[in-house]
A and B are shown apart, each in its own frame.
Chain A
Amino acid sequence: MSHNKVPPRAGISRRSFLGSTGAVGAVLGAGTQHASAQQSDTGVAPNSQPKIELTINGKRRTLTVEPRTTLVEALRDNLGLTGTKIGCNQGQCGACTILLNGNRVNSCLILALSVNGAKITTVEGLANPDGSLHPMQTAFAEHDAFQCGYCTPGQILSAIACIDEGHAGSADEIREYMSGNLCRCGAYPNIVAAVEAVRDGKEG
């Protein structure tokens, strides 16, 4: 496995997240069958559900959420934005990666309530209004940077942020900074090629 991960500037990748401070690590516990992030599903009174406002893909949305609702479940279940995927629901896989105020984050680790007022970009918000694709979307398609496509929305958002952060200088750096997004189909070399192509302005 790959070790010595430097945490991305703004992102929380799987490995760097687990390897970071004790305070954060404690939420995940030992990660055994019985200790998981889902322990955050603590009880609340249903009639006291707060309202939040988010700007999602440029559109203002107001929604009512149970306090324990994660951002990814708010997007998918409350708003029907199912492009964002859940691969573990415990901060380990990156499938739920979105841009939160421009930074890549695992949306399964964030309570929707805690980001009231935030600007969010999901995979649904990348193409232009005329339907033309974001260069990273085109590059992923061209380079066959996926197979089943399940990790893809998260990979694409992570890849966009990877370049924006200045972490796409070399193939090695891309590999390192894209390692928080797991791909069980093993599309990694093609993902790296897609990121390089966009970095070099060869797509779109």
Chain B
Amino acid sequence: MAQTINTAVTRTDAPRKVTGTATYAADFMPAGMLHGALATSSVAVGTLTGMDISKAEAEPGVLAVFTRETLPDYKSVKGFYAGGPGSASFWPMNESQLRSYSAGPGSASFWPMEDARIRYAGQPIAYVVAETAAAARRGAQLIEATYDIAESTIAMDPADSFVIGAGDDSDGMVITKGDVAEGLSVATQIVDSEYVTPFQHHNPMEMFSATAEWRGDRLTVWMPSQSVKTLRSGIAKAYDMSETSVRVISPFVGGAFGSKAGVTPYTMLTIAAAKAMGAPVRLIVTRPQMYTVATFRPESVQRFRIGADAAGKLTAFEHIEISQTSQFDAVVNPGTHITRAMYACPNIHTEQRLSRSDTNSGGFMRAPNEMQTFFGLESAMDELAIKLGMDPVELRRVNDTDRHPVADVPFSSRSLMESYDAVADSFGWANRTPEVGSMTDGDWLVGYGCATATYPTNILASNARVRMHSTGEAYIELAAHDVGTGTYTIMAQIAAARLGLPVEACDVVMGEGDMPVAPLAGGSTTAASAGSAVHDACLKIGRQIAAQVSAMSEGPLSGVDPAAITLENGVLKASGGQSQPLIEALASTATGQIEVIGEFRHKAMTDQMIKTTFQGGYGSAGPVTPEMAMFAFGAEMVEVRVHRWTHEIRVPRLHGAFAAGTILNRKTAHSQLMGGMIWGIGSALHEVTEIDTPRARFLNTNIAEYLIPVNADVREIRVEMLDERDDYVNPLGVKGIGELGIVGTAAAIANAVYHATGKRLRHLPIRTSDMV
């Protein structure tokens, strides 16, 4: 049982998930619950001049229609959220940066229904409460609003972009090392290309919802959340309540991918409506409304100028990323921070720019800094390899580096080329003939493509409570989240391994705001950070029990110096050779049980970072600390087939090899990496939120027309997880795998499409029509 880490353990929550007893937020229905529905604006920009709610009020079952004039207790969450997740994605910032970045997704420096302004299509304008969900939705449809309509634009204009936080506050948004012009002048080959990625929406299968119940001055909110701490502090702050009088409950989350991290207007409207009604209210946001009441992946343009000498060594690297933001927030997902860490180069210039248009604010969506930028970077590297006449894998090898090219610190571990070698083996890269169109199978044009994957290792402060009983059970409690990531299982595995218990005996409880602080489930942090806190708690249990039994008059460890006792796989071992199973030692104590709080603090964490995390924000140390650069790496190879006559694009095989430090659970880790790769197929070939330019609206706001991969789109996916040891990142040596799988897939597919057809597609998604 000690060997529970790095094995394939079936999810501990699997029985609940297959029997329908896993409880997601909207499954909680407090007695007397009423149903809410949102009415949203049908125009993008203007002023609300009037609203006729009489038909809605007359609708059978409708109990109340709230407008901004009639919902007195509706509060916004602005300033707070600027320090929270999403303000600048996963980048720790100082105070003045926080101000200049304004607010984050869903929170917005602009808050709907505070005044008559309409600033994006689909903005909430009224809230209906009814006896049934159907009546509430019908009521919302019957509201007739009139507007003064102003000019609007939904697509950003890349020519009208700006840099944020420049100068002393640049936080690396613009950096220059060496001289790119000089580097280009000595290059043998230069790639100078622009890559474009579209708006995308997360579309988790579970729809957004919020249920609020007031009991006197105490409030309970059930809402699917990636950050129960953020949610609780935001609500408490808005209502000027103590955090302990706000309960936030989110034990299971039906997928999030970045969409459920915030405190949103629909949450606050539901809380206000419940207060006004004197009864609990549940809102389930409709699938179409999900496109405008939360966040999305902003559209972007990636400009690369990369030069290399005849041997393929980079002489110049320039990356300018321009991504869309709303008119009122400056939401930045700084992808240039990641691309410049990839390859050795003496001359580097990167710039992070934003361009505004009339939408709700974007946010972070799975690999928010990496998906778009690596489509660009890894396509550009492929173009460069072709110009140089080099194998694309060899181009990566020539430019591999063990030091961060800009920060000039070593990588804590970096197994990029090991990943390429492993995936090349499993994929059969050696069978690739480099000439375009040289591999065919009947009417199918076959192409092989590859790309680098990476993901920064973000580590955040975390606590965890562990209680162990001499009956052989442990109870683990922390405000972490299982959004499908396997968190329940890996936390149990860590405790089981340390305490010497079976995994089933370790009961993990998570997803409530009152629990010990754990970070937001985003940026692939939970296993590394919260897991390290559970690990610490178990070691603390070992130390405390060791101290107790060493002070006893009898027993195997009696009289031994407690400092000489360590806990190994559930056994207390003294340096002199004496030992005692932890559970036996625990049984000999007066209480027969012990409860401790474990803590994870990394030496690279500043007090400010820890404080930010404890306030519900995202105080990540890394990926670059003063000593080390922390990134997980991987490589993906894909076979694409394009039909000569129908131009259908197929992906029969997608292989990936990844090195992300310790793998805690080979089953759930495999699923996460595989799921990420399938997301990559989606980004490459399916996903796009289409825009209605004249009306500045998102167009395909449903899950039939916003295409995501279906079962029949996915064929062979092979995932290899390499052994990698990293003693710097955290005591478990865990990096993080939730997002790694998606990074690189789109470029690998685009590169394979080029190899098959000679068509270089520099935009996503790649469609059949691009093949004609």
By a beta-carbon cutoff of 8 Å, the part of chain A in contact with chain B is 1-2, 14-15, 18, 28, 31-34, 36, 38-39, 41-46, 66, 68-70, 73, 76-77, 80-90, 92-93, 95, 122-124, 126-127, 133, 137-138, 140-142, 144, 146-153, 156, 174-176, 178-192
Contacts and interface: CB of A to CB of B under 8 A. Distances in A.
Most buried by A among B24, B485, B709: B709
Contact of B707 (A1, A44, A141): A1
Interface in B399-444: none
Contacts of B287: 36, 87-90, 92
Contacts of B668: 144, 147
A164 B254 CA distance: 28
Given A123-B20, A148-B253, A182-B710, A43 B14 contact: no
A28 B703 CA distance: 12
B15 interface: yes
Contacts of B483: 148
B29 A148 contact: no
A137 B19 contact: yes
B678 interface: yes
Instruction: From A126, A142, A181, A190, name the one whose CB has the most chain B CB atoms within 10 angstroms.
Output: A190
B134 A191 contact: no
Interface in B131-164: 131-135, 137-138, 141
Contacts of A152: 17-18
Given A36-B288, A41-B141, 20 more contacts: A15-B704, A33-B697, A38-B134, A41-B138, A42-B138, A82-B20, A85-B254, A124-B19, A137-B19, A144-B14, A144-B670, A147-B484, A147-B668, A148-B204, A149-B484, A150-B24, A178-B711, A179-B710, A180-B710, A189-B674
B630 interface: no
B165 interface: no
Contacts of B206: 85, 87, 148, 150
A148 B141 CA distance: 32
A29 B711 CA distance: 25
A147 B711 contact: no
B20 A32 contact: no
B712 interface: yes
Contacts of A2: 710, 712-713
Given A38-B286, A44-B60, A87 B17 contact: no
A34 B704 CA distance: 15
B131 A46 contact: yes
A73 to B, nearest CB: 6
5 contacts: A34-B288, A41-B138, A148-B253, A150-B255, A186-B675
A106 to B, nearest CB: 12
Decide if the interface of chain B is mainly helix, strand, loop or mixed: loop
A149 B13 contact: yes
Contacts of B625: none
B179 interface: no
A93 B254 CA distance: 14
A41 B486 CA distance: 38
A174 B20 CA distance: 23
Interface in B481-533: 483-486
A82 B23 contact: yes
Contact of B712 (A69, A175, A184): A175
Nearest to B686: A1
B: contact size bracket: 35 or more
Contact of B134 (A32, A69, A146, A174): A69
A184 B742 CA distance: 13
Which residue, of A28, A127, A188, has the highest number of chain B Cβ atoms within 10 A? A188
A182 to B, nearest CB: 6
B762 to A, nearest CB: 22
Given A36-B702, A190-B671, A144 B11 contact: yes
Interface in B668-699: 668, 670-672, 674-679, 685-686, 697-699
A180 B134 CA distance: 24
B19 A144 contact: no
A175 B711 contact: yes
A172 B759 CA distance: 29
A75 to B, nearest CB: 11
Contacts of B23: 82
Contact of B205 (A150, A178, A189): A150
Contact of B711 (A86, A149, A156, A179): A179
A147 B675 contact: yes
A139 B203 CA distance: 27
A146 B714 contact: no
B704 A18 contact: yes
Contacts of A69: 132, 134
A31 B704 contact: yes
B704 A92 contact: yes
B708 A182 contact: yes
Interface in B452-486: 483-486
Contacts of B121: 33
A185 to B, nearest CB: 5
A136 to B, nearest CB: 8
Contact of A185 (B59, B291, B675, B700): B675
A80 B20 contact: no
B713 A43 contact: no
Contacts of B675: 147, 185-187
Contacts of B710: 1-2, 14-15, 179-180, 182, 188
B18 A142 contact: no
Contact of A133 (B18, B137, B485, B676): B18
A139 to B, nearest CB: 9
Contacts of B667: 144
Contacts of A183: 205, 711
B18 to A, nearest CB: 4
A48 B701 CA distance: 35
Nearest to A139: B18
B338 interface: no
A186 B705 contact: no
Contacts of B671: 144, 147, 185, 187, 190
A181 to B, nearest CB: 7
A177 to B, nearest CB: 9
A196 to B, nearest CB: 13
Contacts of A175: 711-712, 714
A89 to B, nearest CB: 7
Nearest to A87: B205
Contacts of A133: 15, 18-19
A23 to B, nearest CB: 18
Interface in B532-581: none
B132 A73 contact: yes
A87 B708 CA distance: 14
Contacts of A41: 134-135, 137-138, 141
Which 7 A-B residue pairs are closest in the complex by CB-CB distance? Answer: A83-B20, A150-B254, A148-B484, A186-B678, A147-B484, A149-B17, A186-B675
A186 B714 contact: yes
Nearest to A150: B254
Contact of B699 (A32, A85, A90, A181): A32
The listed residue with most A CB atoms (<10 A of its CB), out of B17, B206, B252, B667, is: B17
Interface in B702-754: 702-705, 707-714, 716-717
B596 interface: no
B21 interface: yes
A97 B701 CA distance: 22
B22 to A, nearest CB: 5
Contacts of A83: 19-21
B700 to A, nearest CB: 8
B124 to A, nearest CB: 13
Contacts of B122: 33
